[in-house]
Chains A and B, each alone.
Chain A
């Protein structure tokens, strides 16, 4: 596996420009306190893997970043725009933040190409021909250009997830959020999706990724965040995180997922 001396390509350099700023974030589901005082700064070009046991609030955290979940306390600023109840700001943030879901959430009544061109045409007001050109470019990049005219229901899980990634990329986002992108996939399809994500990281995309794929974290991430009980327990670069975890909870979690 990789080690501390791994060379980082020039495209993967992290800038000192802040992309996402989360401070004092709290969220409750009814009486249940899901997120507790989260502080997080994401710089442009960072590749962050968020892990933790189920129910730890990791999905909720990244879903707050594009306001799929509403937070009740604290500040979230994405690329200079603060997320509040202002619908204009929310839509502005969502245009710049791509999201990939566990269950793909492709639109089954539209072809692959239509799935990809929908948002550029209706949200970015891009001419149809140009949107299709962009869409075909990204389908090429996720290595399924030949599936453009099929419906999502005719593709395998891995292909669907790659379409979903391409769909987000068509909006030319500044940040990509991944919410357990490989958890619903058959084992032999996980690699094809991870390969696309690795390629994306190498192109310099800012990524936040909730995943249990520790191999991916080791190769791609520059920072691993461990969450439990709605709090960020510890964060470190992957080498340090896996080699000498500081808290007991992290050690327990790592021992559970690495030696099952």
Chain B
């Protein structure tokens, strides 16, 4: 190859060399293909092998899931006549997957609550919304109360017992409650673990280490079976509430360690800079240390959120049927026997949608919070 692009056609005075475009073979589609897929013989072989593998796998999947699938309405699997997936079952059970056994005529309440959440919480996650402070106050203080009355009843609305809650609605309630509470509790635990006050430090460490050393299933069992044994006679509180508390505290212990990682990455100079200006402990933490530590921890925090969201499936062991639970129930129905693949694929797609959006949002957030070029 001749290096004609690299030789300078004429002489320049020192300090007046013009900026030249990079050699053509390193940019554009060709450049990308060359550097990423065909950069070496081994890389070329791997690329071709991967292409062949995709050719083997993809068409049958597409055929099963889309081209030969049954999309018709129906009440049993007999109505699925084509050899592909029987999405008829999903269609027939769809609303049950969404609401569980929540009474038909009351489902508007669930819709209203989630709609309220959507129109208030989502703008909160986007930058530059006027009156963000008030919106945040509404979402964190007023919305939970409204949601409680909408979901559960009271104030003139008929009570819907929590044993009737289920499906995607329950998954989202558990996930949102877990996420919203685990982060602040986790932050407090992380600060507690680094505190100079021995009692606070020891109790934080003890809580974190105990909860992390126990599987979530055990925590849920404890909350639903053991806890009532310890409470005085006659004192009961709702099974779902106990599960929520269990999940939130469990998530908080993991969150605490993620946040502590971020705190430890903060240079001492940031503390000293803040202290030297006369800031108190909470001002220093709230204005200087945590904003930076949490930014560093975003990947870990979202990782924990996603884990928590998927762990809500475990409430099935205490008899609560969230999305995966309702799907499993449906596949055991005699009318739809043997269609577990379709059910699990559907559940997987729904979980993927939620988890992947969280992941993408975190990437966006990291990019937004990136401030200039770090020099050291």
Contacts and interface: CB of A to CB of B under 8 A. Distances in A.
A91 B280 CA distance: 7
A123 B283 contact: yes
Interface residues of A, number: 30
A104 to B, nearest CB: 8
Nearest to A102: B269
Nearest to A105: B273
B372 A105 contact: no
User: Which interface class (under 10, 10 to 19, 20 to 34, 35 or more) fits B?
Assistant: 20 to 34
A29 interface: no
Residue of A68, A95, A107, A154 ringed by the most chain B CB atoms within 10 A:
A107
A153 interface: yes
B292 interface: yes
A251 B274 CA distance: 38
B159 interface: no
B272 A68 contact: yes
A101 B273 contact: yes
B288 A107 contact: yes
B279 A109 contact: no
A150 interface: yes
A140 B25 CA distance: 49
Interface string A102-115: 01111111000000
A68 B276 contact: yes
B76 interface: no
Contacts of A139: none
A103 B276 CA distance: 14
Interface string B285-309: 0011001100100000000000000
B373 A105 contact: no
Contact of A101 (B269, B292, B372, B373): B269
Interface of B: 269-270, 272-280, 283, 287-288, 291-292, 295, 369, 371-375
16 contacts: A68-B275, A94-B276, A94-B278, A95-B278, A99-B276, A101-B276, A104-B269, A108-B374, A122-B279, A123-B278, A151-B372, A152-B372, A157-B375, A168-B277, A171-B277, A171-B278
Interface of A: 66, 68, 91-92, 94-95, 97-99, 101, 103-109, 118-119, 122-123, 150-154, 157, 167-168, 171
